[in-house]
Structure 1
Amino acid sequence: MYSLEISESAERACRSVMHVCADWESVARAIDERDRVSSANISAEDHLSTPESSQCLSYLARMVTQAESFTFGRIRERVESHVKSTDSPMLSQLYEKNKNALDSTWENALNAFRDWCSIDLREAAGWPRMQTLIEVRNASAHGGGYFTERQKKNRQQFDKTRRVLQEIGYGVEGNQIVAARGAVRKEARSICAFIQEIDALTRV
């Protein structure tokens, strides 16, 4: 799974993602075994029932959090290194004034890296899917699997998120996100690929 070029911190993050995936697999096997009593044909693309989907989304949320922790940590590390390398009291003062907000949100973190290091990580190939998974994480963490009022506030963005989720295999029933049986395994791969891409783009 890991390239020869991957850093130790990125490898740790990927391993953490895969541990979450492994935890889910034991739960998923129990769900599948129970459901085979009533249906012989079970596919990884089949959507889960509401309580099982909520459980699945919570595992997805944990994986997204691992990617977030790695990305924010790397951004802070690189920005701090850049500020020190400039040996500029003015830039150091500016950084100290704003550093607490640097990784308070994805937008702040990505903007900081773009502004300080001249690299926009939103151009990473894995960012669009990661951006969608962040919305899934937020719905899971703050809405129990339902889109929150904050997520629905921007109607255009909300409609786009719903459409993209359906395109990549999720069900959307009203304001509820419904996960497929194979979602955790599939997203574990995409999240690890994103971590490795960020690792490559932010390495000194």
Structure 2
Amino acid sequence: MSLPIVLGARAEAACRLLNQTLGLHRTQTIDTQRAKPLARLATPTFDGVQVQRQATFLRMISITEAFCVDRLLDLAETEFSPTGNNIRTLVWDKASTSAVSTWSGTQDAYKSWYDIRPSWTQINQLIEVRNAIAHGLGKLTRIQRAKRASISNKITTAKIRLSGDYIVLEEANLQSVRDVCVDLISEIDGLVQGKTGDVN
């Protein structure tokens, strides 16, 4: 029986940030629910609850993406040692930029550079939700609507509801997102350690 791999410092820090983000969201949600609207104000059309949930969702995905990108580039930079040689620096700049300019590029780089193949399925479903929030203000973008069947399938498989073209986040979704992010960070960190022994 093999011993479980202990998370490296960067993975621990990323998981801690995820927990802090979710904790802060919960605190702010309680404060918002306690606040009583003034009777003289008209019923608001602005859904502050959804905006707060979307902000928390985006932050958790961003933490996870940042960890994945930084872990990949730090590992590759150590092996490639681009400093001190202009050609190596130019090659490194092009390769590293290409590898992290898109989320799919990062996944491809893990596979082609290190044969590291974590399970990307759940995070990729959540990335579609992230894209709708970040680029459509909570609504499916034009590009997503052009591929509605496959995009809707990814979103609903992640147990996130669509109301027409709009993303509807529930509190339970945020806990699930945190769990998916922690699982991916832990998996990547473990796979990197297994390949290299690097526990940073």
Match of 2:56 among 59, 65, 86: 59
The C-alpha deviation readout for 1:54-90, integer Å capped at 9, x for no partner, is: 3212211100000000000111122223434xxxx98
Q: Partner of 2:164 in structure 1?
A: 174
Q: What CA distance in whole angstroms lies between the structure 1 residues aligned with 2:64 and 2:28?
A: 22
**Alignment TM-score, normalising by the size of structure 2:** 0.77
**Alpha-carbon offset, residue 182 of structure 1:** 1.8
Match of 1:200 among 170, 190, 194: 190
Task: Find the residue that maps to 1:182 and give its secondary structure.
Answer: helix
Where relative contact order (Cα < 8 A, 6+ residues apart) is larger, the structure is 1
The code of the aligned residue for 2:174 comes to V
- Number of corresponding residues: 179
**Alpha-carbon offset, residue 110 of structure 1:** 1.6
The C-alpha deviation readout for 1:106-128, integer Å capped at 9, x for no partner, is: 11112122222223x3xx23x21
Q: What CA distance in whole angstroms lies between the structure 1 residues aligned with 2:122 and 2:94?
A: 32
**Alpha-carbon offset, residue 97 of structure 1:** 3.2
Q: What CA distance in whole angstroms lies between the structure 2 residues aligned with 1:159 and 1:91?
A: 44
**Alignment TM-score, normalising by the size of structure 1:** 0.75
The C-alpha deviation readout for 1:21-63, integer Å capped at 9, x for no partner, is: 01111133346668xxxxxxxxxxxxxx954223212211100
Quick one: percent identity of the two aligned structures? 23
Q: What CA distance in whole angstroms lies between the structure 2 residues aligned with 1:164 and 1:195?
A: 21
Q: Partner of 1:144 in structure 2?
A: 137
Q: Partner of 2:103 in structure 1?
A: 106
- What pairs with 1:1-204 in structure 2 (closer than 5 Å)? 5-30=6-31, 50-84=47-81, 94-119=91-116, 121=117, 124-125=118-119, 127-153=120-146, 155=147, 158-203=148-193, 204=196
**Alpha-carbon offset, residue 104 of structure 1:** 1.2
Q: Partner of 1:44 in structure 2?
A: none
Q: What CA distance in whole angstroms lies between the structure 1 residues aligned with 2:66 and 2:73?
A: 11
Q: What CA distance in whole angstroms lies between the structure 1 residues aligned with 2:151 and 2:32?
A: 28
**Alpha-carbon offset, residue 131 of structure 1:** 0.7
CA separation of 1:50 and 1:62: change in aligned 2, threshold 3 A:
same
The C-alpha deviation readout for 1:142-184, integer Å capped at 9, x for no partner, is: 211111123334x1xx422312322343211121110112221
Residue ranges of structure 2 left out of the alignment (5+ in a row): 36-45
Residue ranges of structure 1 left out of the alignment (5+ in a row): 35-48
- 1:71–1:198: 8 Å Cα contact kept in structure 2? yes
- 1:169–1:180: 8 Å Cα contact kept in structure 2? no
CA separation of 1:15 and 1:136: change in aligned 2, threshold 3 A:
same
Based on CA coordinates, which of the two structures has the bigger radius of gyration? 2
Q: What CA distance in whole angstroms lies between the structure 1 residues aligned with 2:140 and 2:56?
A: 17
- Aligned alpha-carbon RMSD (Å): 2.8
Q: What CA distance in whole angstroms lies between the structure 2 residues aligned with 1:21 and 1:82?
A: 35
